[in-house]
Each structure stands twice: as C-alpha cells, then as structure tokens.
Amino acid sequence: MSIAHAQSAAMDEQTANAGVPHAKWQVWTGRVLSTLAVLFLLFDALGKLTVPAFVVEACTRLGFPIHLSVTIGVLLTVSTILYAIPRTAVLGAVLLTGYLGGAVAIQMRAGSPLFETVFPVIFGILVWAGIYLRDCRLRRVFPMR
C-alpha cells in the first residue's frame, strides 16, 4: 500500500468517525481484526486461484466443480479488496457475508464436521466486528446497549 493510499484511508476513517465519541482501543482493535480477516481471506483466495492439490481434494470432498475454483477466487478477492478499502468496507462486508453463508451451506450439504461448518460463521463475526469497531457510523446504526 502506498503512503498516499494509507493517508487517504486514514482520512476516510477520520471523516467517518468525526463528531462521534469513540475509544482509541476500539478503532485499533477493529483495524487489527479487519487486517487479520483480510490477510486470511486473501490467502484463501490465492489457494482458489492457484488450485493446489489440497484445494482440488477439498472441492472433490465437498462435491464442488473444480473448474469454478478460479471464479470463486476472483469473487473472494474482489469482495475482500472492497472490505479493505474504508469507503467500500460495508459493501465488502455484505458481499463477504454472502460468500461465507454459501460456504456454510456447502459444508452442511457435504456433512462436514461441526468446526468446518461453523468456521465461516465465526469468520463472518470477525469481519463484522472489525468494521463495527472501527466505524462509528455503523455503531450508530446498530448500537450495542
């Protein structure tokens, strides 16, 4: 990420949070959670784009056509990038929620173990927690009382 892009992202975040009280720990915790989510999702997308043996095995086990792996990798990459950009983060989170919901459905259909089925739900919570903590506008729309 270039310095100009980082400064622009910081200014977008400051504008989003202007005039709304927030604790510094919330913003930083949100940034850390969002960064972890982005790194993992990009790693997952890379696997779908490069189609190594473990991805082929997983697709076969889940009954998913391997030729769709690259398309899914592109969709995951685009959704993750949208989530990583402050101005489009909510759109990215919504798209990732749909993607992760599809992952749950596929795991359930395949009869996967509980952890493999619940993991996308946990990850969706991580994605939304990250954006919720770093964006005061979202906290105004969905206040936690």
Per-residue pLDDT tens over the stretch 28-44: 999 999 999 999 999 99
Whether 3 maps to a domain, the answer reads: no
pLDDT tens-digit map of 114-141: 999 999 999 999 999 999 999 988 888 8
Whether 48 maps to a domain, the answer reads: yes
Q: Name the token pair of 116.
A: 């493999």
Contacts of 4 (CB under 8 A, 6+ apart): none
pLDDT tens-digit map of 59-114: 999 998 999 999 999 999 999 999 999 999 999 999 999 999 999 999 999 999 99
- Radius of gyration over alpha carbons of the chain, in Å? 17
Residue 27 near residue 13, CB atoms below 8 Å: yes
The full DSSP string for 28-61 is: HHHHHHHHHHHHHHHHHHHHHHH--HHHHHHHHH
Q: What is the reported pLDDT for 46?
A: 97
For residue 122, CA distances in Å to 2, 20, 107, 126 come to 31, 28, 14, 6
Fill in the amino acid letter for 73: G
Domain count of the chain?
1
Residue 50 has pLDDT above 60, yes or no: yes
Q: What is the reported pLDDT for 13?
A: 55
Residue 66 near residue 51, CB atoms below 8 Å: yes
Q: What is the reported pLDDT for 23?
A: 83
Whether 25 maps to a domain, the answer reads: no
Report d(CA 145, CA 143) in Å as an integer. Answer: 6
pTM (global) more than 0.75: yes
Whether 117 maps to a domain, the answer reads: yes
Whether 6 maps to a domain, the answer reads: no
Residue 122 near residue 98, CB atoms below 8 Å: no
Residue 12 has pLDDT above 80, yes or no: no
Q: Name the token pair of 103.
A: 């992952």
Which secondary-structure segment (H or E) carries 105? helix 89-110
Whether 46 maps to a domain, the answer reads: yes
Q: Name the token pair of 131.
A: 């954006």
Q: What is the reported pLDDT for 56?
A: 94
Whether 12 maps to a domain, the answer reads: no
Whether 71 maps to a domain, the answer reads: yes
Domain that holds residue 65: 35-141
Residue 19 near residue 137, CB atoms below 8 Å: no
